[in-house]
């Protein structure tokens, strides 16, 4: 049983001890290499990465590194093949214990100089690191994982904030447009009202002028008759 400082990760030496649902998924042992001569964690990890039926969860990238595409499925369906622990952080610690390195910030991609696609005979060179060296690196690895999670959460927060700002601006534009339409309608109504009032006053003045003219003409006619 392999033990990690601060957290125990037990390697399953017999797959029958693990989940019964995982037995059908476990690939055949590595051809040309006796698994007994390799650390169980390394040999089983190699078998899983090399199993093409699991490529949607974990697969080779080129020939010198592998990527875990779906962490949740990996923890539920594949990790029990290698460990009784269902903690992904424990798995990462084990990777670090055997000298694997995370080589990408954007995805969970790991590599080891002796862990290469199709090169089974190189696995014998992978050795477990001594505890004094792993302690510091373990902390760095966990800190990197933490920073990665915080970075993703920050990116998600920024996306939501951007959506909120865009929605707010759109709402403000709608309000301003509605106010502009109201003002335009009010001004148009006021102009029409002013024109009607002007025409009414103009008609009244014309009528008064006509009546005044008629009165004057009648007075002149009366004077002439007299």
Which tokens belong to 84? 């009784």
Q: What is the per-residue pLDDT for 220?
A: 57
Which tokens belong to 91? 């798995």
Taking CB atoms within 8 Å and a gap of at least 24, the contacts of 54-60 are 54/25, 54/78, 60/117
| Residue 44 exposed, middle or buried by CB count within 10 Å (0-12, 13-18, 19+) | buried
Sequential pLDDT tens for the chain (226 residues): 343 343 434 444 333 334 444 444 554 544 434 455 789 999 999 999 999 999 999 999 999 999 999 999 999 999 998 888 888 999 999 999 999 999 998 999 999 999 999 999 999 999 998 765 556 667 777 888 888 888 888 888 888 888 888 888 888 888 888 888 888 888 877 778 777 777 777 667 666 666 666 666 666 566 656 5
The pTM for the full model equals 0.48
* Measured distance CA(91)–CA(82) in Å, rounded: 9
Q: What is the per-residue pLDDT for 209?
A: 67
Buried b (16+ CB within 10 A) or exposed e, 46-81: bbbbbbeebeebbbbbeeebbbbbeeeebbebbbbb
Domains of the chain with CATH codes: 3-129 (1.10.10.10)
Buried b (16+ CB within 10 A) or exposed e, 8-41: ebebbeebeebbeebeebbbeebeebeeeebbbb
- pLDDT per residue as tens digits for the range 74-112: 999 999 988 888 889 999 999 999 999 999 989 999 999
Q: What is the per-residue pLDDT for 3?
A: 39
Q: What is the per-residue pLDDT for 30?
A: 43
Q: What share of the chain is helix, strand, coil (3-state, %, to 5)?
A: 65, 10, 25
């Amino acid at each position: 049983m392999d033990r990690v400082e601060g957290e125990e990760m037990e390697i399953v030496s017999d797959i029958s001890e693990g989940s019964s649902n995982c037995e059908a998924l476990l690939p055949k042992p590595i051809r040309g290499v006796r698994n007994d001569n390799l650390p169980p964690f390394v040999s089983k990890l190699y078998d899983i990465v090399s199993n093409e039926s699991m490529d949607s969860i974990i697969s080779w990238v080129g020939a010198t590194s592998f990527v875990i595409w779906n962490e949740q499925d990996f923890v539920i369906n594949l990790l029990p093949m290698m460990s009784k622990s269902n903690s992904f952080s424990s798995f990462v610690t084990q990777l670090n214990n055997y000298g694997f390195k995370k080589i990408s910030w954007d995805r969970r991609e790991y590599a080891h100089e002796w862990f290469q696609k199709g090169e089974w005979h190189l696995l014998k060179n992978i050795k477990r690191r001594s505890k004094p060296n792993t302690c510091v690196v373990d902390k760095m690895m966990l800190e990197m994982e933490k920073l990665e999670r915080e970075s993703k959460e920050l990116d998600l927060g920024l996306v939501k904030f951007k959506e909120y700002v865009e929605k707010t601006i759109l709402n403000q534009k709608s309000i301003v447009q509605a106010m502009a339409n109201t003002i335009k309608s009010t001004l148009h109504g006021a102009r029409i009202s002013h024109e009607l009032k002007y025409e009414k006053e103009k008609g009244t003045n014309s009528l008064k002028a006509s009546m005044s003219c008629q009165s004057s003409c009648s007075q002149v006619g009366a004077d002439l008759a007299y």
